[in-house]
Amino acid sequence: MCYCNNCHKRRGDNDTYERGIPAKTYALPLGWVRNSLEVPRHKIDGLNIDRIYHVAFHGTLLSKVEDILNNGCILAAGDVALGGTTLGEREGHYDDSRKPDGFNTKQIFVSPSIKYAGHDAYASSVMWKDKRTGIIYKAKVCFQVWIRPDSYKVGPETVGAESTIDDYFSNDELEWSTAERTAVVPYGLLVKLESTSEGELTEYIELLKILADIQSIIHI
């Protein structure tokens, strides 16, 4: 499903919708493309999660996508992933040595706003080259998820925003957190490509040259 401006306008979709019991607002992931994920039938049959659960987004690193898909769920810091690796907090994020009083870092964090979930603090960009056209983009990913009502707490943004992040939501309600792993069910993988500025492209090309020089030295 493409959520670019052209496709969005052609379909006549709203920017926001309500989902779940009780109903909760979420914003469509405008500017992104969603790839559907297969959800095990036992998670849907009898539970009606596609009707009862709320919709939210979870930003992550591109390098973590395969791990999430292999584990079949989104994990939190402190969890042990498939293969035995214990997950830690991402660099620069709150951890046990640096966090507000009462803040639990060992949770899954999602948001009803793709603008917040897609923030660079969560969905960090990587450079990606289209082999067909040769164009270089900044790429980032998010997961679209169902989350069980009453399983999470609603809290404020934690990226230090100085202005409103998403016009459809207050900054005080952008971060939903839950320690209940099975309450979060990924059902879509969102991808966003942004064209690079001339400065970013120059910097990226210089980085590639440096890496090539290093590789040539190693090979010698």
pLDDT at position 72 is: 77
pLDDT at position 216 is: 56
- The CATH number linked to 209 is 3.90.228
Strand ranges in the chain using DSSP code E only, listed in sequence order: 16-19, 24-27, 33-36, 54-60, 108-110, 126-129, 136-147, 153-155, 175-178, 184-195
pLDDT at position 67 is: 81
Closest CA to 107 of 115, 19, 99: 99
pLDDT at position 107 is: 83
Closest CA to 54 of 165, 164, 144: 144
pTM value is 0.81
Report how many helices (DSSP H) and strands (DSSP E) the chain contains, helices first.
5, 10
The number of domains in the chain is 1
pLDDT at position 151 is: 95
pLDDT at position 203 is: 56
Ranges of residues in the chain whose predicted pLDDT is under 50? 78, 80, 86, 89, 92, 95, 97, 218-220
pLDDT at position 218 is: 46
Specify whether the CB–CB gap between 194 and 146 falls below 8 A: no
Count of CB atoms situated within 10 Å of the CB of 140: 24
pLDDT at position 131 is: 81
Structural domain containing residue 117: 5-219
pLDDT at position 124 is: 87
Q: What is the pLDDT of residues 1-31, one digit of tens each?
A: 999 888 999 999 999 999 999 999 999 999 9
